[in-house]
A = this chain, B = another copy of it.
Amino acid sequence: MSLDEFALIERIARRTRARADIVLGIGDDAALLQPASGQQLAVTADTLNAGVHFPAESAPADIGWKALATNLSDLAAMGATPAWCTLSLSLPQAEGDWLDAFADGLFALADASGIAVVGGDTTRGPLSISITAIGQLPAAQALRRDGARVGDDIWISGHPGEAAGALRLWQQGQLDVRVAAADADCERLRQRLQRPMPRLPLGLALRGLAHAAADVSDGLLADLGHIASRSGVAAVVQADALPLSSALCDALGTDVARDCALRGGDDYELCFTAAPERRQALHALSSTLALPLTRIGVIAGGRGVRCEGDAGGERAAGYRHFTA
Stretch at the interface among A115-123, A157-165, A275-283: A115-123
> Which residues of chain B are within 8 angstroms of A120 by Cβ–Cβ distance?
45
Contact A40 B47 (CB under 8 A): no
Contact B322 A124 (CB under 8 A): yes
Residue A187 interfacial (CB < 8 Å): no
Residue A43 interfacial (CB < 8 Å): yes
Contact A4 B43 (CB under 8 A): no
Contact A320 B125 (CB under 8 A): no
Interface string of A30-71 (1 = CB under 8 A from B): 111111010011111111110011000000000000000000
Contact A118 B322 (CB under 8 A): no
Residue A78 interfacial (CB < 8 Å): yes
Q: In the complex, what's the smallest C-beta–C-beta distance from A159 to chain B, in angstroms?
A: 21
In this complex, how many residues of chain A approach chain B with their Cβ under 8 Å: the count is 72
If A45-B86, A86-B43 touch, whether A321 touches B30 (CB-CB below 8 Å) is no
> Which residues of chain B are within 8 angstroms of A237 by Cβ–Cβ distance?
none
> Which residues of chain B are within 8 angstroms of A128 by Cβ–Cβ distance?
90, 125, 128
Residue A170 interfacial (CB < 8 Å): no
Within 8 A of B (CB), among A1-53: 2-6, 8, 23-24, 27-35, 37, 40-49, 52-53
> Which residues of chain B are within 8 angstroms of A88 by Cβ–Cβ distance?
45-47, 88, 130, 132
Q: When chains A and B are docked, how far (Å) is the Cα of A40 from the Cα of B35?
A: 7
Q: Which residue of B lies closest to A124 (CB)?
A: B321
Contact A43 B31 (CB under 8 A): yes
The 8 Å CB contact of A2, one of B46, B145, B322, is B322
Q: Among the interface residues A77, A80, A86, A213, which one has the most CB atoms of the partner chain B within 10 A?
A: A86
Residue A324 interfacial (CB < 8 Å): yes
If A27-B145, A30-B43, A37-B37 touch, whether A52 touches B123 (CB-CB below 8 Å) is yes
Contact A77 B30 (CB under 8 A): yes
Contact A323 B5 (CB under 8 A): yes
Residue A195 interfacial (CB < 8 Å): no
Q: Could you list 20 A-B pairs, sorted by A, with CB under 8 Å?
A: A4-B320, A6-B320, A24-B142, A27-B145, A27-B230, A28-B145, A31-B42, A32-B40, A43-B86, A43-B119, A47-B130, A49-B123, A49-B125, A52-B123, A52-B125, A88-B132, A90-B128, A94-B321, A125-B126, A130-B130
Q: Among the interface residues A49, A94, A123, which one has the most CB atoms of the partner chain B within 10 A?
A: A123
Contact A43 B230 (CB under 8 A): no
Q: When chains A and B are docked, how far (Å) is the Cα of A125 from the Cα of B126?
A: 9
Contact B322 A84 (CB under 8 A): no
> Which residues of chain B are within 8 angstroms of A320 by Cβ–Cβ distance?
4-6
Residue A214 interfacial (CB < 8 Å): yes
Contact B77 A29 (CB under 8 A): yes
Residue A75 interfacial (CB < 8 Å): yes
Q: Which residue of B lies closest to A270 (CB)?
A: B29
Residue A235 interfacial (CB < 8 Å): no
